[in-house]
Amino acid sequence: MASSLHQNPTFIKPHSSPSIKPSTPTRRSYIPVHCGGPRSQRGPLIKGRFLSIEAIQAIQTLKRINRINPQTQTETQLQTKTLTRLIKSDLVATLKELLRQEQPTLALRVFSAVRSEYGADLTLYAEMLKVLGNCGMYEDVDRLIEEIEVGGGIGCDEDPKGVLSLIKAVIGAKRRDLLVRVYEMLKRSGWGEVVEFDEYVVKVLSNGFKGLVMMNLLKRFLMIMIGFVRLNSIRLGLSSFCRNHLFCFCLNPTQFTNSFSVM
């Protein structure tokens, strides 16, 4: 039986090896896609500047109200209603965006809302002063400085960066009288006597006096700084800037003031 099976090839199914098809290169086609149109011609995004939907809507509403009903009581009421709905972060973002767009009138109203609800630091005041000065709204610049005076002036616990920004904004507005008022506020609070001036604040304030041709006030300011250094250099360990550069003023005031480049 086995021999008959072995002799009969029909009972054995041969094993067929799978055929391998030759590989052919795959062709890929690329279709260019153009997105957008005339309505999507937007400028590049600015890193770090994000506006919420609420802030964007508030800006649009303020502009629309100001365009339809300018300088009316209805406009003020509608703007107040719009701003009171915003949380602090959205309110501040709205203010900074209006300042960036140089909308000083609307920015003043938003700033008033920020100040009344949450208060405003010197940095925010400085941003307002800078835009108001650029737009020639000097009466509002004077009013904001007066508000700082009425609110207690510039305390010794203020952030030096905020003080520096405020001084720069006043110098940029080219208001000699306001620079004197800022300096007097600093003196009344103890800056330069109780608390050391920041080195860069000294440089900027000196350049401001010099640039606005206020040499007498510059000399008074630097003499106060020299007295402070003499009394407190050992106790506070002041930096080499104050010890070396300010003492040079005693020997040659003109040479010392000229060592600062006008900003």
Q: What average pLDDT does the segment 144-157 reach?
A: 89
Across 116-125, 151-160, 251-260, which has the greatest mean pLDDT? 116-125
Say whether pLDDT at 214 is over 90.
no
191 DSSP β-pair partners: 195
Under the banding of pLDDT at 50, 70 and 90, the label for residue 183 is confident
pTM: 0.65
Say whether pLDDT at 236 is over 50.
no
Say whether pLDDT at 220 is over 50.
yes
| Contact assessment for residue 185 and residue 154, using Cβ atoms and an 8 Å cutoff | yes
What is the share, in percent, of the chain residues with pLDDT greater than 70? 56
Alpha-helical runs (H) found in the chain: 2-7, 53-68, 73-84, 88-100, 104-118, 122-134, 138-150, 160-172, 176-189, 199-211, 215-236, 240, 246-251, 253-258
Residue at 252: amino acid letter:
N
Residue at 241: amino acid letter:
F
Q: What is the pLDDT of residues 82-127, one digit of tens each?
A: 888 889 999 999 999 999 999 999 999 999 999 988 999 999 999 9
> Rounded to whole angstroms, how far apart are CA atoms 187 and 101?
35
Provide the 10 A C-beta neighbour count for residue 135. 15
Residue at 261: amino acid letter:
S
DSSP 149: H
Lookup: tokens for 41:
């011609």
Res 93: pLDDT: 93
Res 259: pLDDT: 45
Say whether pLDDT at 205 is over 70.
yes
| Contact assessment for residue 51 and residue 97, using Cβ atoms and an 8 Å cutoff | yes
> Rounded to whole angstroms, how far apart are CA atoms 41 and 216?
54
DSSP string covering 166-178: HHHHHHHTT-HHH
Res 47: pLDDT: 47
Top-confidence residue, 195 or 147 = 147
| Contact assessment for residue 231 and residue 196, using Cβ atoms and an 8 Å cutoff | no
Provide the 10 A C-beta neighbour count for residue 34. 5
> Rounded to whole angstroms, how far apart are CA atoms 105 and 79?
12
Res 247: pLDDT: 47
DSSP 127: H
